[in-house]
Each structure stands twice: as structure tokens, then as C-alpha cells.
Amino acid sequence: MRAAVAIAALAMATTAHAGRPCEEKQPTARQIEQGLNLAQATARQLDASGAQVAILARAGQDLSKYGLQWSHLGFVYKDTSQQPAVWRVMHKLNHCGTDHAALYRQGLGEFFMDRPYRYDAAFVVLKPELQQALLPVLTDNSRVARFNERRYSMVAYAFGTTYQQSNQWVLETLAGSAGPAVNNRRDAQAWLRNRGYQPTDLHLSAMTRLGGRMTQANIAFDDHPSARRFSSHIDTVTVDSMFAWLPRAGLSQSPQLVQQ
């Protein structure tokens, strides 16, 4: 459950995080126990749901000051190539606070081993036809990277292609499987607009933006429309916005909370 396979020419030993700097501090025994307990609870609920593919979120950071409950998500799918079948997570991770990222395939245990702010999780079960379309994509390293952009910004513009953040990759990959005429990131974003997706509007002051850009390589604002940016509106993809939109668009069931 804890095995990880990095794709996009990265070694397994490379440490990566969802938009956070790498830290040398190792998890405590208690943190390991909490992470594995949450992984087991998540597996039980996923099994009970009858799903093959879902979208799974964790609370890696405290984003409550922005009105957000979850910080990071990925696709979770049932790997039947092993017996008994196991759940795998495919998601995008930023490399140690740098300006680039890659895709990783992990077990549930490792997904929750990144010292989350809160040991809770949530997932949405996608509609059956979307699960069927996504499953062969998620198990194929070439196909799953089709919409991946290496250049990373934690606050990438939701409808831009200069950068891409972790949640945005999930959303665009989902659009690529749901929309028959979606061939690239621009197509995916047009499909999402047409289906009513609305990104989160983060209100970030000029000083906050300047401080973030000067001190963090994984934060950039130059891809956002000037009129919005200069009025402190940053439109980016968040877990909360996706969990609100997916059921409304008829693409998933309602979110299910997982607690230890």
C-alpha cells in the first residue's frame, strides 16, 4: 500500500510535496500510525462504495483563512492487477518548493504519510461511465500524462496554460476523459467553462502576492488576467470548488467524509 512509482523521469527516492517546501524532519511513530489508520479507513469506505475510480482529497495544509477545507486531491482507482486488489492514488506533486512538478502513483498509505494538517479525508465517486473512461488512462503512464504541464504554480490561473497546479491537473485530465472533443489543455478548459465549473476566487493583496512571488519558486501570478490580479482576485482550482461542482454537473455523487 505504501509503494510509490514516480513517472516523468523521476527516481522513487525523490521527495515531493503538493506545493510545499521539502523538509528533512521525519514523521513520528504517531504520525505514521495516524496516516496508516486513515488509509485503512479510506480503503474500507472506498470498497463499500463499489467504485473503481474516485477523486480523493486530503487536508495537507490549514487553508481555513481562505474558507477552504481541503488542500490537495488525486485520482484513486482500484488496481486489480494484484490479488487481492489494492487502491492506488495518481496525483501531481511539486518538487520541494521548486517551479516544476511531476505525476506520482502511490498507495493510500503513502498518500497520507505527508504529515497532513488534519487526519481526515474525503472522496467523490464519479459516475460509472466516467470511471470506465478514466480507468485505462490512470493505469497507462503515457496516457495519464497527456494533460500534464511540468511548470508549476501553487496558484496557477484556472483557465491558463502557462503553469499548472496539482488540483488543476486532476480537473483537466477528468475533462479529457469526459469530453469527446478535448485534445489539449485549452480544450479541457473550454469544456469546463461550458459545464459551469467556477474556480475559487482567492482574495490576495498586492503585498501578499509580492511576498509569495519573491520568496517561493512555486508561486507565480503572471498568468492571471491583469484586471483580476490587480484588484486582488486570484482564480485558481481548489478541492472545495471541484467537490462543489462535480455533483452539480452530474459527474459524481456527493462527497463522503473519511475519519479515523
Percentage of residues of the chain with pLDDT beyond 90: 74
Average pLDDT across the chain, whole number: 88
Residue 27 has which C-alpha cell?
514523521
- Other C-beta atoms closer than 10 Å to the C-beta of 205 total 9
Give the least confident one: 1-10, 89-98, 127-136, 250-259. 1-10
- pLDDT bucket at 10, cuts 50 / 70 / 90: very low
C-alpha to C-alpha distance for 113 and 118, rounded to whole angstroms = 12
Domains and CATH numbers, the chain: 4-259 (3.90.1720.10)
pLDDT tens, residue by residue, 27-53: 899 999 999 999 999 999 999 999 999
Strand partners, 203: 233
Are 167 and 156 in contact, with CB atoms under 8 Å apart?
no
pLDDT at 133: 98
Q: Rg for the chain (alpha carbons), in Å?
A: 17
pLDDT at 35: 95
Identify the H or E element spanning 4. strand 4-6
Residue 129 has which C-alpha cell?
461511465
| Residues 6 or more apart whose Cβ sits within 8 Å of residue 39 | 1, 107, 108, 109, 111, 112
Give the least confident one: 17-21, 203-207, 227-231, 246-250. 17-21
Give the least confident one: 52-66, 140-154, 166-180, 211-225. 211-225
In the chain, alpha helices (H): 29-49, 108-111, 128-138, 141-144, 166-178, 185-194, 206-215, 226-230, 239-248
- pLDDT bucket at 12, cuts 50 / 70 / 90: very low
pTM of the full structure: 0.89
- pLDDT bucket at 24, cuts 50 / 70 / 90: low
Q: Please check the confidence at residue 67 and state whether its pLDDT lies above 90.
A: yes
* Cα angle: 90, vertex 95, 96; to 5 degrees: 130
